[in-house]
Amino acid sequence: MQRPSLERVLRRTYVRLAFSAVSLAAVCLVLVSWTVLRAYANDNLMLLARSISYTVEAAVVFNDAPAAEDAIAQIAGNEDIAQVRVVDNHGATFVFWERTGDGPLSRSVHRIADLALPGGAVVPVMHNGKVLAKIRVRGRGHQFAIFLVGGIGGVLACLLIILGAGTFIARQMHRDIVEPLRALAEVAHAVRRDRAFDRRVAATPIMELQELGNDFNALLDEFEGWQHSLREQNATLSHRANHDPLTGLPNRTHFVARLEQTIRDARALDTAVGVLYIDSDRFKEINDTLGHDAGDAVLVTIASRLRETLRKDDVVARLGGDEFAALLPGLEDEDDAIGIAQALSESMLEPITLPGGHQVTTSVSIGIAMFPSHAHDVASLLRTADSAMYEAKRTGERAWQMAR
């Protein structure tokens, strides 16, 4: 029986070893990356769904389907979303939005993405603690599918390059081939185990393996870029969901969450917490007589002055309309809160310059409530401060009132 030569055996062994190692590394990388990207896509879809829920809340409350559809279209049209359905508590469809205009190629890509992406996100539309409807959002997955297909193509190209390098002699296999493949597999495993997308394959003296390493690193660059992009989108959506778009201040949801945490800390440290409920005295008059642009400029200026006057650790938020609230942690007594309220009132004395050069003056009415003197929970504290604010408003402009 004719036996194969050593050169042939080593070449065949190299080919098998290279194919096995690179295949394992590629499969691990694709599977792990798919799992990670799928998780990020799901988080991104949930953030979009919450953003849509917050946006259409008013339209659902007033049963205004066209307004809800317009609001959904503004958000979903700029994001990777295929369908949005708003269903009321009786199971009936209140609003249905679906992306149109995709060609045959796009539809094929979407079918591929449906196999990899999560089934969709469902979030409630809440108002005053009640569920008014549910929003079901299904991702379009266009960028995800293209990226995944491109990644698989890159892996296949890498395999072809490795298979074409089987002519190298056996003596160089361990030094020039096995070790680089082992390093590549270690990077793939690091990505799979630790999601270390910053790892890269080192340079090697063999051209084919160097090209493989470059392609492999390019894939990692793309995965890292995709991961960074998703993180930025999540951060943007998180900021949008927790901040007022006009003034940039935290919104009611964010303020309530911070207040709850501050009260828990105050209970543990046995300290006082102050809440100021702030309302502009002339906002409706300015808005009605000078226009919405003037009203917006007034709100932005009030927000800026509140933020500049408060202490570093204080939190000011826009609750809605011309109503603001300030959270004052770590107070010694009521006099501290009164001093801050007086400073806020005095900060409004300077005239506000409107678009076009016109100037107006305004003032604020402030209600003050203290934890634990006046209330022991978030809802009661806000309600007490709100009542004190209305009492201050009845006494005249630039007034503040401590809760009783």
Helix (H) or strand (E) holding 126: strand 121-127
Q: Which residues belong to CATH 3.30.70.270 in the chain?
A: 252-402
Question: How many other C-beta atoms are found inside a 10 Å radius of the C-beta of residue 340?
Answer: 22
Let me know: does 138 contact 46? Beta carbons within 8 Å.
Answer: no
- Give 55-103 as a DSSP string: HHHHHHHTT-HHHHHHHHHHHHTTTTEEEEEEEETTS-EEEEEE-----
CATH architecture of the domain 252-402 equals 2-Layer Sandwich (3.30)
What CA–CA distance (Å, rounded) separates 19 from 13?
10
Sequence-ordered strand ranges (E) for 297-378: 315-320, 323-331, 352-353, 359-360, 364-371
Instruction: Supply the pLDDT for residue 381.
Output: 93
- The per-residue pLDDT for 112 is 63
The two structure tokens encoding residue 323: 């109503």
Catalytic residue flag (residue 215): no
- Give the separation between CA 314 and CA 276, rounded to whole angstroms: 11
SS3 244: coil
pLDDT at 149: 67
Q: Which of 244, 279, 322, 386 is catalytic?
A: 322
Instruction: Please give the pLDDT value at position 265.
Output: 92
Q: Per-block average pLDDT, block size 10, for the chain (404 residues)?
A: 58 70 73 74 80 84 86 81 84 85 65 64 85 84 66 71 59 65 78 76 75 80 77 74 87 92 91 93 86 91 93 92 93 90 91 87 92 91 93 81 88
d(CA 79, CA 269): 45
